[in-house]
A = this chain, B = another copy of it.
Amino acid sequence: MAGEDIDDVDKAILYALQEDARNMSSGDIAKRTGTSDSTVRKRIQRLESDGVVKGYSASVDYGKSGYPLRMLLYCTASIPKRGELVPEILEMDGVVAVQELVTGEQNLLVTAVGETDSDITSIAQELLDMGLTVADEVLVRTHETTPFGKFDAERHAENDS
C-alpha cells in the first residue's frame, strides 16, 4: 500500500543515498531538489518506514580485507521450503547474499565470501546439511555495483516543463 507514490523528489533522494549514504547530508539533497533540509529528512523517514529504503550498508572490498574468495553457490531447494530457508542461510558465517530465483532448478543463489577454499566448502557442507543440493559453484573475479539509473533526474530530463 505504500507503493507507487514515489515522485521526483523521492527518486532524487534515493539516488543520492545510493551514491553516498554516509556523507550525503539532508542539506546536500535539499540543494539538488530545490527543497529544504527538513523536508528531505521527513521524506527519508517516510521512505524508511514504508520499507522503500531497507537500510544503509558500507560496500567492502573483501579481497583487500583478507578474504579474496567470492563464490556463487547455485542450490536447489524444494519449492515450499525455499523461502523459509533464506533467513537461516543468511545467518551462516561467510554468506553475504541470498537470492531466490524463478527457475525450475537451482532456485537459490547464495553468495559466499571466504579466505580459503575450506571456508567455502564449509558453507557448501552446511547447505547440504540443511537438505539443499549445491548444483554448481562459480568463482567471482570482480563485483561492481552502481546506483539505479532511473532514480537519476539528470538522466531522465525529458518531461519537466
Which residues on A are within 8 Å of B, measured CB to CB? Answer: 2-4, 6, 10-11, 14, 17-23, 50-62, 64-67, 72, 83, 86, 90-103, 109, 113, 115, 138-151, 155
Contacts of A109 in B (CB 8 A): 72
Copy number in the complex reads 2
Cα A50 to Cα B144 with chains together (Å): 17
Cα A148 to Cα B61 with chains together (Å): 11
Whether the pair B59, A55 counts as a contact (CB closer than 8 A) is: yes
| Closest residue on chain B to residue A58 by CB atoms | B17
- Given the interface contacts A52-B65, A90-B144, does A138 sit within 8 Å of B101 by beta carbon? yes
Contacts of A6 in B (CB 8 A): 65-66
Whether the pair B148, A96 counts as a contact (CB closer than 8 A) is: yes
A96 to chain B, nearest CB (A): 6
- Given the interface contacts A93-B155, A101-B139, A138-B102, does A148 sit within 8 Å of B62 by beta carbon? yes
Cα A76 to Cα B53 with chains together (Å): 33
Provide a sorted-by-A list of 20 A–B residue pairs whose CB atoms are within 8 angstroms.
A3-B66, A6-B65, A18-B60, A20-B57, A21-B21, A21-B56, A51-B64, A53-B60, A54-B59, A56-B58, A57-B57, A60-B148, A60-B151, A86-B142, A94-B148, A97-B143, A98-B143, A100-B142, A102-B140, A115-B150
